[in-house]
């Protein structure tokens, strides 16, 4: 009697499990490959990947880390929204509440803040990696363009988030930032008016920045990240074709395929032919890729927790439009621009950033030769890499000067004095 | 148009002459949808422009002339404004730096900005960049109740004086 009841329960629970996931925990390579393809969450991976792709020194996992940070920011951000009131002066008080009243509120706030800073840095480094490995070469030109848009979205999210604490830091950083926008020719003043929802930074501005920061920009980001990752999946990661053995080498080893690949006839994407790829160079994505990814996500998570438990996110006095702190600085990633703006607002605030973004957007359509794609600092790409590196170093240098070497009245100071 | 089920040589195979009416209806439809889209975009932009501003009025009283001692400069932090009671009348200069909007302080040749070091003379003219525009001057007037009134929507030249 009890035996049958037990068996029935087992059958029933098995049926429930199967309704959730059609296959059991995959035990063989074949099952795991099938799972990679059939699961919504896993199918952004191929079933097999080139060994080359797995080398941490190739991608430095930077795109992956950016993705992990986006998830962390979304989760912590949603939690913060439960206590945050987007209206001054309550906005500032809710930050104080999060710090001193809400249990674990401060950890969440720190984590959100430090992840945001880290994301700007990581996305920038990811872009550098992609450039230095020539990974924007055909067929990946458009994914580079999507990437540039993601970089702009990352900056936009950081900037709109910066106002929300409604402290002095926030208020004056946004004052300086939105006044830079006003230097844009013709539409500058109107853009500033729309952004602020008025002439001065006030409740309307906070509400606009809040909606942009919490809804519009994250949704746009989610959409573009999906497109970005989808295209990485479709094109495969760069570099695999460079490291694939030459077709003649493989030809003698593997019999020519007689299979007709029905769907592949439809796929327009350029790829090396199936026969030319050495199957021995490929490994199964589960476990080889999947476990590495989980490890990176775990490491990022641990690092963020440690940092957030040790370092407090800054919160100054409540925003006071009548008192300008000296010096008033934009968020650090805009301090390179502010340093330029110190010489000329039009050049530093409008002309240089516009030209930089335009140059980034069109670079894959001008630098089209495929030579040197898929490897770090390929000698064939000496000129392109030199130009990019020079610009990146100048930009980083200006940012460091603006952050550390500028004191009251934007005069030069030594950070260790 | 080809269709497997239609035998060769039948009506469908003949090259069709474009139907004038259908084509022009199509063009009219496209123009209509295009215009509607443009209108929709314009409406969206207009929607973003607030009609009522919940911010301090741009025209406000700052008290009777007598509260400003002759020959002195008074800073009104809430209004971000310097009010002068000079020998030849009243005038007011904005404390909003024309570079990027910080508050200028009295000092140097007249005014100094803490943010990027711009300097302005007593009349708000640029002495040293990065600011390129002079500080704004705003019109003063006397209300029927003998109050000084500033109008931020009415910029004036540095010759402006109000005799009161
Ligand atoms: C929110 C920001 C971003 C996220 C989450 C993201 C995510 C990713 C991921 C997960 C990959 C797979 C390879 C890897 O891990 O490195 C990747 C590749 C790539 N990314 Fe991004 N990315 C972002 C921003 C950018 C930017 C700013 C650029 C360039 C301007 C860019 C251009 C590319 C290109 C061209 C590839 C293909 C590289 C290859 O095949 O080797 N991405 N991205
Ligand atoms: S805001 Fe005054 S010098 Fe920049």
Examine the pLDDT at A295 and tell me if it is beyond 80: yes
Q: Which pLDDT band holds residue B155 (cuts at 50, 70, 90)?
A: confident
Q: Which range (A203-207, A256-260, B125-129) has the least confidence?
A: A256-260
pLDDT of residue A115: 96
Q: Read off the pLDDT of residues A313-367 as tens digits, 9 standing for 90 and up.
A: 988 888 888 888 877 788 888 888 888 888 877 888 889 999 999 999 999 999 8
pLDDT of residue A259: 46
Nearest CA to ligand 2 atom 1: B100
Q: Which pLDDT band holds residue B12 (cuts at 50, 70, 90)?
A: low
Highest averaged pLDDT of the listed ranges A4-13, A238-247, A339-348, A404-413: A4-13
Chain-wide mean pLDDT for chain A?
A: 86
Q: Which ligand 1 atom sits closest to the C-alpha of A153?
A: 1
Instruction: Give the Å distances, CA to CA, from A168 to A164, A175, A317.
Output: 11, 10, 6
Q: Read off the pLDDT of residues A149-201 as tens digits, 9 standing for 90 and up.
A: 999 999 999 999 999 999 998 998 888 888 888 888 888 888 889 999 988 89
Pick A79 or A180 by higher pLDDT: A79
pLDDT of residue B1: 46
Chain B residues with beta carbon closer than 8 angstroms to that of A327: 114-115
Count Cβ–Cβ pairs < 8 Å, chain A vs chain B: 81
Mark which residues 47-76 of B lie under 8 Å from A by CB. 48-50, 53-56, 58
Examine the pLDDT at A272 and tell me if it is beyond 60: no
Q: Which pLDDT band holds residue A288 (cuts at 50, 70, 90)?
A: confident
Listed in sequence order, the residues at least 6 apart from B112 whose beta carbon sits closer than 8 Å to its beta carbon are A409, B104, B105, B106, B118, B119, B120
3-state secondary structure of A323: coil
How much is the ipTM here?
0.74
Examine the pLDDT at B37 and tell me if it is beyond 70: yes
Q: Read off the pLDDT of residues A363-386 as tens digits, 9 standing for 90 and up.
A: 999 988 888 888 888 888 899 999
Q: What is the mean pLDDT of residues B156-163?
A: 81
Question: Can you say whether the dihedral through the CA atoms of A80, A85, A90, A91 is positive or negative?
Answer: positive
Instruction: Give the Å distances, CA to CA, from A416 to A324, A404, A405, A413.
Output: 24, 9, 10, 9
Q: What is d(CA A16, CA A29) in angstroms, rounded to the nearest whole number?
A: 25
Nearest to A219 by CA among A287, A286, A156, A140: A156
- Residue A200: closest C-alpha in chain B: B55
A322·B53 Cβ contact <8 A: no
* Ligand positioned closest to the Cα atom of A121: 1
pLDDT of residue A273: 43
pLDDT of residue A145: 96
Chain-wide mean pLDDT for chain B?
A: 83
A322·B99 Cβ contact <8 A: no
Q: Which residue has the tokens 């090396």?
A: A272
pLDDT of residue B73: 85
Examine the pLDDT at A42 and tell me if it is beyond 90: no
- The beta-strand segments (E) located in B77-147 are 81-86, 89-94, 105-107, 110-112, 119-121, 126-128, 137-142
Ligand 2 centroid to A128 CA: how many Å? 32
Examine the pLDDT at A388 and tell me if it is beyond 70: yes
Chain B residues with beta carbon closer than 8 angstroms to that of A338: 116
Q: What is the mean pLDDT of residues A20-40?
A: 81
- Report the percent of chain A where pLDDT is more than 70: 90
- Residues of A343-376 as b/e, b for ≥16 C-beta within 10 angstroms? ebbbebbbebbeeeeeebeebbeebeeeebbbbe
Strand partners, A58: none
Ligand 1 centroid to A274 CA: how many Å? 25
3-state secondary structure of A151: helix
Q: Read off the pLDDT of residues B56-73 as tens digits, 9 standing for 90 and up.
A: 888 888 888 888 888 888
Pick A301 or A409 by higher pLDDT: A301
pLDDT of residue A178: 86
pTM: 0.84
| A407 Cα to chain B: minimum distance (Å) | 9
Of the residues A409, A410, A412, A413, the best mutation for testing chain B's interface (the one with the most B CB atoms within 10 Å of its CB) is A409
* Ligand positioned closest to the Cα atom of B97: 2
Inform me whether the C-beta atom of residue B101 falls under 8 Å from chain A C-beta atoms: yes
Q: Which pLDDT band holds residue A280 (cuts at 50, 70, 90)?
A: low
Chain A residues with beta carbon closer than 8 angstroms to that of B129: 343-344
Chain A residues with beta carbon closer than 8 angstroms to that of B113: 409
pLDDT of residue A375: 85
Nearest CA to ligand 2 atom 4: B116
Chain A residues with beta carbon closer than 8 angstroms to that of B116: 338, 341-342, 409-410
Q: Read off the pLDDT of residues A345-357 as tens digits, 9 standing for 90 and up.
A: 788 888 999 999 9
Are the CB atoms for B148 and B62 separated by under 8 Å?
yes
């Amino acid at each position: 009697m009890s035996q049958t009841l037990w068996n029935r329960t087992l059958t029933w629970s098995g049926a429930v499990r199967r309704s959730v996931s059609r296959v059991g925990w995959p035990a063989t390579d074949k099952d795991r490959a099938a799972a990679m393809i059939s699961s919504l969450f896993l199918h952004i991976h191929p079933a097999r990947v080139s060994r080359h792709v797995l080398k941490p020194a190739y991608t430095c996992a930077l795109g992956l880390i950016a993705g992990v940070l986006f998830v962390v920011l979304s989760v912590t951000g949603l939690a913060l929204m439960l206590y945050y009131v987007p209206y001054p002066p309550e906005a500032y008080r809710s930050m104080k509440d999060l710090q001193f009243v809400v249990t674990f509120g401060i950890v969440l706030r720190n984590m959100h803040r430090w992840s945001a800073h880290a994301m700007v840095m990581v996305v920038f480094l990811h872009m550098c990696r992609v450039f230095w490995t020539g990974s924007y070469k055909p067929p990946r030109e458009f994914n580079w363009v999507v990437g540039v848009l993601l970089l702009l979205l990352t900056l936009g999210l950081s900037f709109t988030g910066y106002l929300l604490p409604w402290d002095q830091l926030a208020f004056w950083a946004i004052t300086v930032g939105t006044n830079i926008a006003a230097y844009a020719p013709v539409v500058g003043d109107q853009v500033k008016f729309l952004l602020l929802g008025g002439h001065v930074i006030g409740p309307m501005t906070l509400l606009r920045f809040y909606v942009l920061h919490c809804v519009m920009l994250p949704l746009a980001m989610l959409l573009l990240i999906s497109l970005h990752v989808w295209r990485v999946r479709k094109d495969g990661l760069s570099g695999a074709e460079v490291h694939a053995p030459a077709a003649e080498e493989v030809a003698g080893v593997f019999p020519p395929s007689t299979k007709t690949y029905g769907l592949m006839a439809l796929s327009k994407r350029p790829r090396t032919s199936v026969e030319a790829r050495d199957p021995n160079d490929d490994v199964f994505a589960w476990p080889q890729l999947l476990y590495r990814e989980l490890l990176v996500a775990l490491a990022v998570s641990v690092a963020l927790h440690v940092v957030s438990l040790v370092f407090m996110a800054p919160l100054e006095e409540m925003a006071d439009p009548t008192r300008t702190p000296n010096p008033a600085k934009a968020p650090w990633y805009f301090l390179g621009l502010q340093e330029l703006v110190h010489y000329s607002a039009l050049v530093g605030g409008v002309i240089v950033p516009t030209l930089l973004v335009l140059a980034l957007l069109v670079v894959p359509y001008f630098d089209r030769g495929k030579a040197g794609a898929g490897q770090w600092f390929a000698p064939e790409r000496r000129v392109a890499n030199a130009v990019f590196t020079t610009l990146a170093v100048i930009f980083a240098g200006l940012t460091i000067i603006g952050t550390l070497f500028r004191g009251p009245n934007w005069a030069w100071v030594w950070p260790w004095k | 148009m080809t269709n497997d089920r239609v035998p060769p040589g039948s009506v469908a195979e003949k090259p069709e002459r474009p139907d004038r009416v259908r084509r022009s209806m199509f063009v009219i439809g496209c123009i209509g949808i295009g215009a509607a889209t443009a209108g929709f975009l314009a409406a969206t932009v207009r929607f973003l422009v607030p009609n009522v501003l919940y911010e301090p009025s741009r025209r406000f009283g700052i008290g009777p002339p007598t509260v400003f001692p002759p020959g002195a400069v008074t800073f009104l932090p809430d209004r971000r404004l310097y009010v002068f009671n000079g020998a030849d009348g009243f005038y007011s200069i904005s404390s909003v730096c024309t570079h990027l909007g910080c508050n200028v302080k009295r000092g140097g040749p007249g005014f100094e900005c803490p943010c990027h070091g711009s300097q302005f003379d007593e009349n708000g003219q640029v002495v040293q960049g990065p600011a390129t525009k002079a500080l704004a001057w705003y019109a003063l007037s006397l209300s029927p109740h003998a109050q000084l009134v500033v109008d931020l929507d009415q910029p004036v030249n540095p010759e402006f004086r109000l005799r009161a």
